Structure 1
Amino acid sequence: MSELYDVIIIGGGAGGMSAGVYAARGKMKTLIIEEKRKAGGQAATTDEVENYPGILSATGPELMDAFRAHCDKFGVEFTKGIVNKIDVADDGYLKTLTTTKGEVFQAKSIIIATGASPLILGVPGENEFRGKGVSYCATCDADFFEELDIVVVGSGNTAVEESLFLTKFVNKITMIVRRDHGILAADRTAQEQAFANDKINFVWNSVLDEITGDELVNGVNVKNIKTGEISHIESDGVFMFVGTVPKTDFIKGQVDLNSHGYIVTNDKQETNIPGIYAVGDVTEKFLRQVVTAAGDGAVAAVAADRYIEEEDNWRKAVVDFDGTALVAFWAPQNQDSIDVINQLETHNKGQAGKNVVTIDIFKNQKIAKQFNVSEIPVVIRFDAGQEAKRVNVKDLNELETLY
């Protein structure tokens, strides 16, 4: 069993390392578990990055090396491994992670940054020319193909939308479509836009058979699924938009996923499990880029820090306190709740073995929800960490029943 970490981040891509920087800089004991020998995620496989603010030009590996150096500066720990199990303690606070090698780590909070992989067709040449003419991201790489001819594989909404974006840069697009003539997998509006664009041509009833080239892509071989005929199309690049696969198998049945397997989060990157967050491409989101993943990581790290602070304070003042804790649920705009706190503090001032604890129901919604507090003022008395009495205060005199 490892030592206890404040936060363990699963995945060392842009989102994970951004979270690492923010967490460690906030004095949280931080560990990143990365499955590959070198951190960086999908961004590390991109030849050139020109759309990360403040970085005019860098290769993907160079940018991710800078992220790693930033993590090292603040003392983020790294280890290689693949997490295949997360166990949450009965009280919801301690999280235990187990890797495929049987290593066990413990943390107060977890940030899932495992990413999503492009769906790989596995055709000859696809892996060989990845980053050398084969791309999975139009926003990342469109300007490298300015005034050139390219091929797009796929016909769903993503393929069509990305193709329309690519027409702003390229000379011509040939879309390879498995379906019959005139039928795309995209919705009607997207189809109409694609058919109306003079730069987009279609090869129907066909699949990609091979990507050809020397040092860079120079064409593709396409197979007609009805006749079996193979034809060659000259092309300077191939964009693959046949889908992505989120890396969420290890967390299925625990965190909420959408219908495509991506993790559902709120604006604090929180999942449905308190203390577990998710960032970057593994989440349900509009745009998957290095900059958006980095932003997610920053938000999650700060949210995790606040969560730990609240939980540690709650445990010290209530759960692990041997005496009596009077917990007042309040809100700054509710004068009655403020009056309750003032009376509690006046009555119990200087009394040994008694704590007065205040919980703002808007700032600490987790504890308010845990104890089913929706209206205020409410005071709960805890004796040695166990709830003993609850008063929904209508009159200050009712507080006498708590003493």
Structure 2
Amino acid sequence: MNKVIIIGGGIAAHTAAIYTARASLQPLVLSAPEPDQLSTTNIVENWPGTPDGILGPKLTQDTKKQAQKFGAKYILAKADSFKVLKNSFEIIASGKKYAASTVIICTGASSRKLDIPREKEFWAKGVSTCATCDAPFYKNKTTVVIGGGDSAMEETLALSKFAKKIYLIHRRDEFRASKLMQDKIKKLPKDKLEIILDFIPIQILGDKSVTGIKIKNVKTNQPKEISCDGIFLAIGHIPNTDIFKSSLKLDKKGFIITNKKSETSLLGVFAAGDCQDSLFKQAITSAGVACQAALMAEKYLEGR
């Protein structure tokens, strides 16, 4: 049986793996195939010690390599179930059973969808949540970004290097993104970026692939159609915590409830990162809380 199992594949999981590995706990990391949020971020400018910024994928991979250097073992497997046993915990991941004395949950969050007509039909056929991944496919094409936070600004900036035209659509009359990010998109040429406020998407348009989007003014209900080749969603995230619903206390949005020590409602189970952070959602806070969770897991094992 493993001393520690870490569930996740992002910066929180890798940080927890570094600390538990250095404590000679030989952590097993169950990492899902889907990319973490940081791996789909173009450049991270607020990571300490990187005055010129660092690419999100590089930061993630370097942290993983560091964990592996200290002895962390990684298995590419998606956790499908979580069970509390008498003196341990059982995780079934990609059809195999794994047991551990303590568990650190770093399952992150997934991009929220629009839930409008034809969205599923055109998923990966013009509808995406990752401009960092897909922007090169839209060279000299017209794109739409939905959202008003930092993620939407990030998507817009990533697309601006390739797309000839970007429509940035937000449901409110002002953005909630940081001033720094808003200032960046304001520097884009006016013929490159068109901002549309007070509108919401109501239907994806297309044939074999996306050809446009139908939107509606939230104040007047006036509909409008925009022709485009691609649509990028940046409207928030949903925590990946479904398998813990029957075992752990979650808040009304599905985030795992933890105390100041990263402890969940279940003794021996800790959580860090986007699966428990509904407020800050920063790489640095995810790493910090994961470090704390790892140290608490070590203390828990010492006291058994």
TM-score of the superposed pair, with normalisation by structure 2: 0.74
Cα pair distance change 1:306/1:233, threshold 3 Å: same
Q: Can you give the 5+ residue segments of structure 1 that lack an aligned partner in the other structure?
A: 174-198, 212-218, 312-403
SS at match of 2:44: coil
Pick the aligned partner of 2:197 from 199, 202, 207.
202
The reply on whether 1:64 has 2:60 as its aligned counterpart is yes
Larger Rg: 1
Cα pair distance change 1:200/1:221, threshold 3 Å: closer
Alignment match, 1:17? 14
Cα pair distance change 1:169/1:205, threshold 3 Å: closer
CA distance in structure 2 between the partners assigned to 1:11 and 1:154 by the alignment: 32
CA distance in structure 2 between the partners assigned to 1:97 and 1:247 by the alignment: 15
Alignment match, 1:32? 29
CA distance in structure 2 between the partners assigned to 1:304 and 1:88 by the alignment: 16
Cα pair distance change 1:141/1:242, threshold 3 Å: closer
Cα pair distance change 1:115/1:290, threshold 3 Å: same
SS at match of 2:177: helix
**What one-letter code is carried by the residue in structure 2 that aligns with 1:127?**
S
Cα deviation for residue 242 of structure 1 reads 2.9
Alignment match, 1:245? 238
> For each residue in 1:321-369, what CA deviation from the matched residue of structure 2 results, as whole angstroms up to 9, or x when unmatched?
xxxxxxxxxxxxxxxxxxxxxxxxxxxxxxxxxxxxxxxxxxxxxxxxx
Cα deviation for residue 298 of structure 1 reads 0.3
The reply on whether 1:46 has 2:47 as its aligned counterpart is no
137-146 or 293-302, larger mean C-alpha shift: 137-146
Cα deviation for residue 41 of structure 1 reads 1.3
Spell out the pairing of 1:253-332 with structure 2 (5 A cutoff): 253-311=246-304
**What one-letter code is carried by the residue in structure 1 that aligns with 2:61?**
D
CA distance in structure 2 between the partners assigned to 1:87 and 1:116 by the alignment: 21
SS at match of 2:288: helix
Cα deviation for residue 304 of structure 1 reads 0.3
* 1:270 and 1:276 in contact (8 A); partners too: yes
The reply on whether 1:141 has 2:180 as its aligned counterpart is no
* 2:89 and 2:102 in contact (8 A); partners too: yes
* 2:171 and 2:200 in contact (8 A); partners too: no
223-232 or 81-90, larger mean C-alpha shift: 223-232
**What one-letter code is carried by the residue in structure 1 that aligns with 2:54?**
A
> For each residue in 1:214-243, what CA deviation from the matched residue of structure 2 results, as whole angstroms up to 9, or x when unmatched?
xxxxx9744448676523589xx9874433
* 2:167 and 2:196 in contact (8 A); partners too: no
**What one-letter code is carried by the residue in structure 2 that aligns with 1:258?**
D
Alignment match, 2:138? none
* 1:153 and 1:239 in contact (8 A); partners too: no
* 2:263 and 2:269 in contact (8 A); partners too: yes
Cα pair distance change 1:206/1:61, threshold 3 Å: closer
* 2:40 and 2:130 in contact (8 A); partners too: no
Cα deviation for residue 203 of structure 1 reads 4.6
> For each residue in 1:113-145, what CA deviation from the matched residue of structure 2 results, as whole angstroms up to 9, or x when unmatched?
111011134465332862238587616838948
Alignment match, 1:341? none
Cα deviation for residue 291 of structure 1 reads 1.1
Spell out the pairing of 1:95-134 with structure 2 (5 A cutoff): 95-101=89-95, 103-121=96-114, 122=119, 125-127=126-128, 130-131=131-132, 132=135
Cα pair distance change 1:204/1:138, threshold 3 Å: closer
Cα pair distance change 1:163/1:21, threshold 3 Å: closer
Cα pair distance change 1:238/1:59, threshold 3 Å: farther
CA distance in structure 2 between the partners assigned to 1:247 and 1:290 by the alignment: 17
**What one-letter code is carried by the residue in structure 2 that aligns with 1:308?**
L
CA distance in structure 1 between the partners assigned to 2:172 and 2:83 by the alignment: 40
Cα deviation for residue 23 of structure 1 reads 0.6
Pick the aligned partner of 2:176 from 155, 158, 161.
161
Alignment match, 1:338? none
Spell out the pairing of 1:222-237 with structure 2 (5 A cutoff): 222-224=214-216, 229-232=224-227
**What one-letter code is carried by the residue in structure 1 that aligns with 2:15?**
S
Cα pair distance change 1:246/1:253, threshold 3 Å: same
TM-score of the superposed pair, with normalisation by structure 1: 0.57
CA distance in structure 1 between the partners assigned to 2:56 and 2:81 by the alignment: 30
Cα deviation for residue 165 of structure 1 reads 6.5
SS at match of 1:230: strand
Cα pair distance change 1:163/1:97, threshold 3 Å: same
CA distance in structure 2 between the partners assigned to 1:245 and 1:307 by the alignment: 29
Kindly report the root-mean-square deviation, in angstroms, between the aligned alpha carbons of the 2 structures.
3.6
Identity of aligned residues (%): 26
* 2:170 and 2:196 in contact (8 A); partners too: no
Cα deviation for residue 287 of structure 1 reads 0.7
> For each residue in 1:170-223, what CA deviation from the matched residue of structure 2 results, as whole angstroms up to 9, or x when unmatched?
3299xxxxxxxxxxxxxxxxxxxxxxxxx9752546546469xxxxxxx97444
**What one-letter code is carried by the residue in structure 1 that aligns with 2:23?**
G
Q: Can you give the 5+ residue segments of structure 2 that lack an aligned partner in the other structure?
A: 136-142, 189-193
SS at match of 1:96: strand
SS at match of 2:64: helix
Cα pair distance change 1:169/1:48, threshold 3 Å: closer
Cα pair distance change 1:282/1:154, threshold 3 Å: farther
